[in-house]
Amino acid sequence: MTIKLSVICVGLILLSCKNASSQTEAWQIGTWTRLSQNPVIRPTNAEFTDPLTNHEVSWEKLHTFNPAAIVRNGKVCVLYRAEDDSGREGLGNHTSRIGLAESDDGVHFSRLSGPVFYPAPDAQRFREEQGGTEDPRVVETDGGFYVMTYTQWSRVANTYTTGVATSRDLHTWIKHGPIFAGANGGKYDHLAYKSAGILTRIKGDHIVAAKIHGKYWMYWGEIEIRIATSRDLIHWIPVEDDHGKPIVLMGARAGKFDSAFPEIGPPPVITDRGILLIYNARNADKYKMGPGNTAGDPNLVPGTYTVGEALFDTKHPERLLARTDGPVLKPTLAWESNGQYKPGTTFAEGLVRFKSKWLLYYGASDSFVGVVAAEGNRR
């Protein structure tokens, strides 16, 4: 059956997010407020022996950003992308690995000296060598293990995809390869795609992977947001239309903060109003317009990444119900625009419920990790 989507645009939301106070719709989590005026995770000179070269590398020297988050043993655990100082200067020219940091309060973190997830001499080497493991999103399961989706990027093979890995402790991971490997006769095996968030539900103080109609669901993609299903959280199949194409749930909107494209943020969560999807959005470039030659939001710097929220139907996860007209989080502090991505970035990938609050972790200017909070009334 071909899916017909209707978009209900909701009230304008323009947040400074320093001490933001703005009207939010009843379905949204609420107003996001910064818990720190400084990065909560920043680069260090820590060294690590690269198993592919056997050389010591400063694995998080240049940038630490784009964090996943989960609550474990009463602490916030953040899995963050870290870039070393190998390669030449420029976006995507370094090797990324994933580090682990823990916090008792969600703001002050201690971290391991080495990464917990990285390119290695394993079955995924050709998908990750010299590019790395990037942009994690992580969910907990009822079975007591963790599932992480992440970008596999290889400068050697000059390709990228979304991989999936599992762990019992967040320290030791098993890689399972691309999420769509072999799906529908292998038609997606050579597709370049990234950004995937598995649907979750609230279970006490935890957010765990959720089933609807007996299946797990995943929102995925950048440029256009799509959806997929799974029976085991490892093997995923895109939901297609009558023409065999993945259905499109969200795309760019002319003149708005997501005028270049939307991209999946942290794993979406089922609330009492529907499925809340926090997504990242790129404003159209001043000289290169977005899809459909759409112009950008004139109130934002061209190319800026901000954060929006959308609502989907719990009974029909492919059905879009509402979408914010403006960003709920945008760069306002110096370090959110003065890193390696100059137009400015607040790029959310980690969402947890912790001590009666929602905490949202984001990458800033592709260089640092920040955190904002909202009251935890919405469930």
pLDDT of 90 strictly over 70:
no
Listed residue (205, 229, 222, 228) closest to 140, CA to CA: 205
* Residue 289, Cβ density class (10 Å: 0-12 exposed, 13-18 middle, ≥19 buried): middle
Q: What is the pLDDT of residue 3?
A: 37
DSSP 94: S
Comparison of pLDDT for 290 and 83, the residue scoring more: 83
In angstroms, the CA 44 to CA 145 distance is 29
Residue 326, domain CATH: 2.115.10.20
In the predicted structure, residue 11 carries a pLDDT above the cut 60 = no
Query: Is 313 inside a domain boundary?
Result: yes
Q: Which residue has the tokens 């903060």?
A: 257
Gap between the Cα atoms of 51 and 129, Å rounded: 11
**25 belongs to a structural domain:** no
Residue entry with tokens 């991209």 = 263
Q: Which residue has the higher pLDDT, 270 or 93?
A: 270
Task: Tell me how far apart the alpha carbons of residues 67 and 81 are, in angstroms, rounded to a whole number.
Answer: 6
Residue 344 covered by a domain: yes
Q: How far separated are the first and last CA of the chain, in Å rounded?
A: 32
In which band, very low, low, confident or very high, does the pLDDT at 10 lie, cut at 50, 70 and 90? very low
The domain in which residue 159 lies consists of 33-375
* Percent of the chain surpassing pLDDT 70: 89
- Judge whether 14 lies within some domain: no
pLDDT digits (tens, 9 = 90+) for 219-241: 999 999 999 999 999 999 999 99
Predicted pLDDT at 21 = 33
| Residue 69 belongs to some domain of the structure | yes
**Residue 370 near residue 39, CB atoms below 8 Å:** yes
Average pLDDT over residues 179-201: 96
In a domain, 9, yes or no: no
* Contact in structure between 282 and 307 (CB atoms under 8 Å): no
Specify if 17 maps to a domain: no
Q: Within a domain: residue 7?
A: no
Q: Residues 160-195, buried b or exposed e (16+ Cβ, 10 A)?
A: bbbbbbbbeebeebebbbbbbbebeeeebeeeebbb
DSSP 332-371: -SGGGTSSSSTT-BEEEEEEEEETTEEEEEEEETTTEEEE
More confident residue, 332 or 17: 332
| Both tokens assigned to 213 | 């109609």
pTM (2 d.p.): 0.91
Number of domains in the chain: 1
